[in-house]
Amino acid sequence: MDEDSMKMVEKLPNPVESNTSAESRPEQEPETMRIAFRYNQLAPVDSEQKSSTPLGHYFDLTKTIPSTTLDAQDITCWNGDERPDGSGGIGSFSNPQYASLLSCIHRKASEQQFNSTSGESAKSVLRISLNSIGSPSWYDKNFSTDFLRFIALLKAIVRNTLSVCLITVPLHLLRHLDDHQLHKKVINLFDFSFELEAFAGQMEEHANPAFKEYHGLLNITKIAPFNSLAAFHPKTRDLAFKLKRSKFVIEKLHLPPDIADDDSGTKMQVPTLSCASGGMKSKLDF
């Protein structure tokens, strides 16, 4: 409800079939080390979190997807005007917009190509994208109850069909509601959850030279053992992201061992015992 869904689709960046950026160029031969010659045989360290396939990971952010390509795709948008038809056992909500959205998703997911048990040969995956669910546009007196029930019913629809769902939630706003545990309950209902902490507007991070090449931090908050006996444990959870011309890069965050300010004017003066000046260290003290 916060933004026109078709306008969001029209702003999607144009994907590129192959990586033609600087990352795909042949690497230059590393300089031969004369002293630490044993390090010559070690592979160069690459902290970028890469996928096994380049498909769907490279985009030209200066161009949008052509309208002819979008028209050829099966895209369904919900604008909030339609009312629920009462089918699918969705039930009632205090806010009718939740029932309307669930009814639209359930009707689309019930098509044969998204049914995992049907004998349809041409099956496909339904990709559901919900932007800013839980924003102030959804608030009412029973917001917490309706919101949790909506996510639980949506999760049941996704699990029983060939569907995946990406939801963006302003969790920083949920922490200021009367139900102070709502943000934890929401994360508990998700299979995977992560937070993006942008540096824009935060002067402290901009002043820190350790973060000068990044645009923000990526915090993994939950990884569920989905279709497995144990959850996946990444090598590190200290991740940072930066936006390039062709892709959204996620890298391991490596901090330098020490970040010191060499400006002598900001250093604290240490009082000393002396026979000359008023207790402050000076080159003339003895």
Burial classification of residue 79, based on how many CB atoms lie within 10 Å of its CB (0-12 exposed, 13-18 middle, 19 or more buried): exposed
Tens digit of pLDDT for each residue in 109-161?
A: 998 888 877 776 778 899 999 998 888 888 888 899 999 999 999 999 999 99
Global pTM? 0.72
**Residue 65 neighbours by CB under 8 Å, 6+ apart:** 10, 12, 13, 14, 15
**Residue 19 neighbours by CB under 8 Å, 6+ apart:** 54, 58, 246, 247
pLDDT tens, residue order, the chain (286 aa): 667 788 888 888 888 776 554 444 444 455 555 555 555 656 555 556 665 555 566 788 888 889 898 889 889 998 777 666 655 556 678 888 999 999 999 999 998 888 877 776 778 899 999 998 888 888 888 899 999 999 999 999 999 999 999 999 988 888 888 888 888 899 999 999 998 888 877 666 555 677 778 888 888 888 888 778 887 888 888 888 888 877 778 888 776 655 445 554 454 555 555 555 555 555 555 5
Going from N- to C-terminal start, the domains of the chain cover: 76-190, 202-257
Nearest to 161 by CA among 120, 219, 202, 214: 120
What pLDDT score was predicted for residue 24?
46
Nearest to 120 by CA among 110, 128, 112: 112
- Provide the 3-class DSSP secondary structure of residue 188: helix
CA 225 – CA 60 distance, rounded (Å):
34
Residue 95 near residue 49, CB atoms below 8 Å: no
Tens digit of pLDDT for each residue in 80-105?
A: 776 666 555 566 788 889 999 999 99
